[in-house]
Amino acid sequence: MADFTSTGWSLYVSIITLVSIAFCIWLALVLARGRAPGAQVDTTGHSWDETLQEYNHPLPRWWLWLFLITCVFSLAYLALYPGLGSFQGTLGWSQKSQYDREVARFDDVVKPLFAKFLAKDVPAVAADPQAREIGERMYLTYCVQCHGSNATGSRGFPNLADRDWQWGGDPETIKTTITGGRHGVMPPLAAVVGSAEEVENLAHHVLSLSGSTHDAKRAELGKPKFMGAGCNACHGDEGKGNPALGAPNLTDKTWLYGGSVATIVEGITNGRSNQMPAFGEMLGEGKVHLLAAYVWGLSNAPERKGASH
């Protein structure tokens, strides 16, 4: 692709553009030549129904002048704005500069509002009706695609409306998550665990940690593999997880990908990899603070205080 960014291509585009405009002007002038008074107007040689002929009259003067005006306008436009290869135009306009100016004007209006909320802690912002309304709109813009309109998530995308948090649900951790994103990875462990039967035994043991439906005999056989395969390195000896690593708690019944034997076997065999993008650079500190307050409030609203997952 480097060949298409050289100055030669810019010159080529500029020449083709200018020659095309010059040709249009020449063609219009040639076709608009008037005829001498009394001169016979020739036909184009086309005829229909024996007597219907097409005459070759000159272009109307009003049409000619209108066309020439558009050509002059195009030359003036190309002198002022980008259009001739890499030439940026005498006004120095660009889409990026216009976007930056519009963002700057918008920031001048909203920055004081976000600064007001930034001065408060997350619980106080979450309790503010105006902040919740703004936060909801931000959520529907940036988060709804993955976590859903009701924030309950879907397969592979966490539920933000409960009290179960893979990386931690305190205000500062939520802000860190939104700012820098997260990348959760579980390596494939089938080769370490052993045969397919041993992998399934381990899956039954994982289910037993949360009291989910399982085969007790197979769970007992899979218990040594939990330590032997290194599952405890991330999830802990008791399977309660490690928010610092993003390792889920296996002792509850909250499952990101599903809690069936087949799904857990799939996870052990193939591993898991899931990523949340970083929004810090896009949103800025004030918006991140407000969005974090809204997300925190989803599972910490007064009516949810006594709720459990």
Residue at which a domain ends, from 94, 121, 147: 94
What letter does residue 82 receive in the DSSP assignment?
S
Q: What is the pLDDT of residues 247-284, one digit of tens each?
A: 999 999 999 999 999 999 999 999 999 999 999 999 99
Residue with more model confidence, 39 or 287: 287
Domain match, 173 and 190 both: no
Domain match, 74 and 220 both: no
Domain match, 82 and 134 both: no
Exposure pattern of 170-205 as b/e (b: 16+ CB <10 Å)? ebebbbbbbbeebebebeebbeebeeeebbbbbbbb
Domain match, 162 and 195 both: no
What average pLDDT is seen over the chain? 89
Domain match, 26 and 151 both: no
Q: State residue 207's pLDDT score.
A: 97
Classify residue 76 as exposed, middle or buried by CB count within 10 Å of its CB (0-12, 13-18, 19+): exposed
Q: Does some domain include residue 103?
A: no
Domain match, 175 and 217 both: no
CA distance 13 to 221: 72
Q: What is the pLDDT of residues 126-175, one digit of tens each?
A: 999 999 999 999 999 999 999 999 999 999 999 999 989 999 999 999 99
Distances (CA, A) of 140 to 135, 288, 291, 295: 9, 14, 11, 11
Q: For residue 122, what is the domain's CATH number? A: 1.10.760.10
Domain match, 76 and 143 both: no
Q: State residue 108's pLDDT score.
A: 87
Residue with more model confidence, 86 or 293: 293
Query: For residue 6, what are its two tokens?
Result: 């050289």
Q: Does some domain include residue 8?
A: no
Domain match, 196 and 258 both: yes
Domain match, 285 and 154 both: yes
Task: State the pLDDT confidence band at 199, using cuts at 50, 70 and 90.
Answer: very high
Domain match, 172 and 211 both: no
Domain match, 18 and 65 both: yes
Q: Does some domain include residue 289?
A: yes
Number of domains in the chain: 3
Distances (CA, A) of 223 to 28, 121, 127, 163, 257: 88, 44, 45, 28, 22
Which residues form the domain of 167? 108-181+277-302
Residue type, 150: N
Structural contact between residues 171 and 296, judged by C-beta atoms closer than 8 angstroms: yes
Domain match, 162 and 205 both: no
Model confidence, pTM: 0.69
Q: Does some domain include residue 4?
A: no
Q: Does some domain include residue 226?
A: yes
